[in-house]
C-alpha cells in the first residue's frame, strides 16, 4: 500500500498542467516590406504571419512565418513573440543556397494605427555570412 501511495504521488507530480490562455497581441496578417540586404541591396517583399493559438500562452505568441521576395523566392519559418519583441527564423525553400537566418523585430503601430515592424536579420552561411534590415507595414 505504501508503494502505491508513493507511485501515485510521483506520477501525479508529472501530470500536464493547463497553460494560461494567450493574452498577447495577435500580429497575424500580411505585411508589405522593404529591405536592405548587405549582399543583395534593396528589395521588396511580403511577410505573412499566422498565430498558432495552441502553441501561444500568456504574453508569448507562436507564429508560422513566410517571406516572399520576387526574384529570390519564398522563405518559410516561424516566429516567437513576447510583447512587442518578435524573433523570426526563415529559410529559402531551395536549401542549396544556404539562404536562411534569424531576425529580431520590434512591433509598433504607425501614425495610421497599423502594425508594423523593423527587423534586423543575420544569415550565417549565405554568401559567406550576411545581414540586413526590413521595415514592414500591415496591409489594410
3-state secondary structure of 35: strand
The confidence score (pLDDT) of residue 14 equals 47
The confidence score (pLDDT) of residue 2 equals 59
Please give the C-alpha separations between residue 48 and each of 6, 57, 82, 97, in angstroms, as whole numbers.
Answer: 50, 21, 18, 22
The confidence score (pLDDT) of residue 59 equals 96
The confidence score (pLDDT) of residue 27 equals 98
The confidence score (pLDDT) of residue 1 equals 57
Average pLDDT by consecutive 10-residue portion of the chain (140 residues)?
A: 48 59 96 97 98 96 97 96 97 93 97 96 96 96
CA distance 8 to 109: 51
Give, as one character, the DSSP assignment of residue 9: H
The confidence score (pLDDT) of residue 140 equals 86
Bridge partner residues of 15 (DSSP): none
CB 65 within 8 A of CB 31: no
Spell out the domains of the chain, with CATH numbers in brackets: 24-138 (2.40.128.120)
The confidence score (pLDDT) of residue 16 equals 58
Bridge partner residues of 82 (DSSP): 60, 85
Amino acid at each position: 500500500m505504501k508503494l502505491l501511495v508513493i507511485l501515485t504521488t510521483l506520477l501525479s507530480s508529472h501530470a500536464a498542467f493547463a497553460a494560461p490562455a494567450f493574452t498577447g497581441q495577435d500580429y497575424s496578417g500580411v505585411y508589405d516590406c522593404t529591405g536592405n540586404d548587405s549582399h543583395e541591396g534593396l528589395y521588396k517583399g511580403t511577410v505573412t504571419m499566422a498565430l498558432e493559438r495552441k502553441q501561444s500562452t500568456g504574453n508569448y505568441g507562436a507564429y508560422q512565418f513566410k517571406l516572399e521576395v520576387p526574384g529570390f523566392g519564398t522563405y518559410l519559418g516561424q516566429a516567437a513573440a513576447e510583447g512587442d519583441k518578435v524573433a523570426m527564423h526563415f529559410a529559402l525553400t531551395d536549401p542549396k543556397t544556404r539562404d536562411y537566418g534569424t531576425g529580431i523585430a520590434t512591433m509598433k503601430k504607425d501614425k495610421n494605427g497599423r502594425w508594423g515592424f523593423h527587423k534586423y536579420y543575420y544569415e550565417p552561411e549565405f554568401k559567406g555570412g550576411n545581414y540586413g534590415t526590413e521595415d514592414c507595414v500591415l496591409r489594410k
